[in-house]
Amino acid sequence: MPNPAHTGKWSQVAATIQRRMIELGLKEPHLAARSRVSLTIVRELAHNTHQRDRHPLTLSRLSQALGLKLDHLQELASRPAIEPNDELLAELAQVDLPPAARDLVVGVFAGLTAALHDLRAEYTTLKRDVEAALESAPAARQQLNPVDASTR
């Protein structure tokens, strides 16, 4: 059975830290020095070994050192953990996988679910912005060019 502590929000924080470290060519000691966060905490977060609430300043310093928005890791950590659905767990129970592989599948599923949630939220925001721009477009055009287009 997958360990729920290794799924959800902290697995997303760990995956983000690891991905950015690779992209930036950073090792954990360098990230610790750059962020002014202890090497122990960097390792705990990067490997998702101790799931507990972290001080926002810790996550902010790491975000900054990784070239992310200051609140990026805090936002990931603040999200509710995504629990795998019963159907996925039932399917995984029938497959002969080592526990680590099951945990990986559950973690990937949680990551995809979180990414889909983010995409839906971004879509909603963009749709609202486009609708607002379209509604104000005729008024904006008229302000820029007060001459009625029909008189040309």
Q: What is the pLDDT of residues 64-122, one digit of tens each?
A: 999 999 888 998 888 766 666 788 888 888 888 888 787 778 777 877 877 787 788 77
* pLDDT the model gives residue 8: 52
Query: Domains (ranges, CATH) in the chain?
Result: 4-114 (1.10.260.40)
Distance between CA 39 and CA 58 in Å, rounded? 12
How many residues are given for the chain?
Answer: 152
Alpha helices, DSSP H, located in the chain:
9-24, 28-35, 39-47, 56-65, 72-78, 86-93, 99-144
Alpha carbons 70 and 35: distance in angstroms, whole number = 12
Band (pLDDT 50/70/90 cuts) for residue 143 is low
Contact (Cβ atoms closer than 8 angstroms) between residue 75 and residue 85: no
What percentage of the chain reaches a pLDDT higher than 70?
A: 82
**pTM as predicted:** 0.54
Give me the amino acid identity at 79.
R
Contact 51, 107 (CB under 8 A): no
Give the residue among 67, 60, 53, 51 at the shortest CA–CA distance from 14: 51
